[in-house]
Amino acid sequence: MFRLFKRLFQDDKKLAAQQARIEQLEFQVSQLQADKTIELQQSRIDQLEHQLNNLKVNQKDEAQQTRIDELEADMSTKLGLLEQQNSVIKELTKRLEMLESQQSEIQTSTKPAVMDVPLEGMERLTQLEQHLVSIQPSSESEFISVTSIDKVTDVSPDRVYFEALQEMAERYAMPLCYPDSTFRGDKPLSRQEFVQHLVALTQQIQRMILASSMGG
């Protein structure tokens, strides 16, 4: 009778240890599920959970101990891979920040090149602008500027001129749209409209040059 109780006690102790390890694995699985960076391994986690559930049904099977060890090792391997991925992501982030910093320095170093515009060129540009204004047949209010290309109602990214129009509208603030926020890319350009666009372009170029000179 004593041996029977002793054996039952040992079996209960063994089952308790197995139960503790199962609960530990379940906790690791729950942590993996909460981490959004490993969504690609969700199917693998679901498979491990299914296998753990099967082990809990047959806890008296001595072979389950080996299987639990294998699952635990597999889980550790997955965690190690995730740590490596996080390290790679951090390294790539650092390199990207370095490249952005270098690009900013390059843009800053090339800024004086804009300031070195000869005074003679500035005077000629002013004369050209005044001449164009004098021959302009109508007011410039026929065209408006937009802060975002999304505000132009008849332009979509599949148009061949979309990127060019976006840069001229958003970066250079060119008045390219009609008052109803349309571009009318299929509409022929009249001589009057051509003159208006040319005047707006020269004015914007002059403003950018003056702003660069004052900023330096």
Summarize pLDDT for 3-26 with one digit per residue, the tens.
666 676 676 777 777 777 787 777
DSSP state of 170: I
The pLDDT value recorded for residue 61 is 64
Q: What is the pLDDT of residues 170-187, one digit of tens each?
A: 888 888 888 898 988 888
Q: Please name which of 1, 21, 66 lies closest in space to residue 9, comparing C-alpha atoms.
A: 1
Q: What is the pLDDT of residues 131-151, one digit of tens each?
A: 555 544 444 447 888 889 999
The pLDDT value recorded for residue 114 is 45
Q: Which one of 66, 85, 107 terminates a domain?
A: 107
The pLDDT value recorded for residue 137 is 43
DSSP 30-73: HHHHH-GGGGGGHHHHHHHHHHHHHHHHTTT-TTHHHHHHHHHH
The pLDDT value recorded for residue 38 is 57
The pLDDT value recorded for residue 119 is 59
The pLDDT value recorded for residue 139 is 45
The rounded percent of the chain whose pLDDT value lies above 90 is 6
Are both 12 and 67 inside the same structural domain?
yes
Asked if residue 32 has pLDDT above 70, the reply is no
**Predicted TM-score (pTM) above 0.85:** no
Cβ contact 49:29 at 8 Å: yes
CB-CB neighbours of 46 under 10 Å = 12
What band does 166 get if pLDDT is binned at 50, 70 and 90?
Answer: very high
Cβ contact 11:41 at 8 Å: no
Q: Please name which of 78, 67, 72, 66 lies closest in space to residue 32, comparing C-alpha atoms.
A: 78
Are both 35 and 53 inside the same structural domain?
yes
Are both 143 and 77 inside the same structural domain?
no
What band does 153 get if pLDDT is binned at 50, 70 and 90?
Answer: very high
The pLDDT value recorded for residue 207 is 83
Are both 24 and 82 inside the same structural domain?
yes
- Tokens describing residue 55: 């082990």
| Residue 150 domain-assigned (yes or no) | yes
**Dist. CA 84–CA 52, nearest whole Å:** 26
Average pLDDT along the chain: 74
The pLDDT value recorded for residue 82 is 74
Asked if residue 160 has pLDDT above 80, the reply is yes
Are both 173 and 198 inside the same structural domain?
yes
List the domain range (segments joined by +) for residue 125: 117-215
Q: What is the pLDDT of residues 86-140, one digit of tens each?
A: 776 777 677 767 777 776 777 666 554 444 555 566 677 666 666 555 544 444 4
Are both 88 and 138 inside the same structural domain?
no
| Helix boundaries (H) for 116-150 | 119-134
Are both 101 and 126 inside the same structural domain?
no
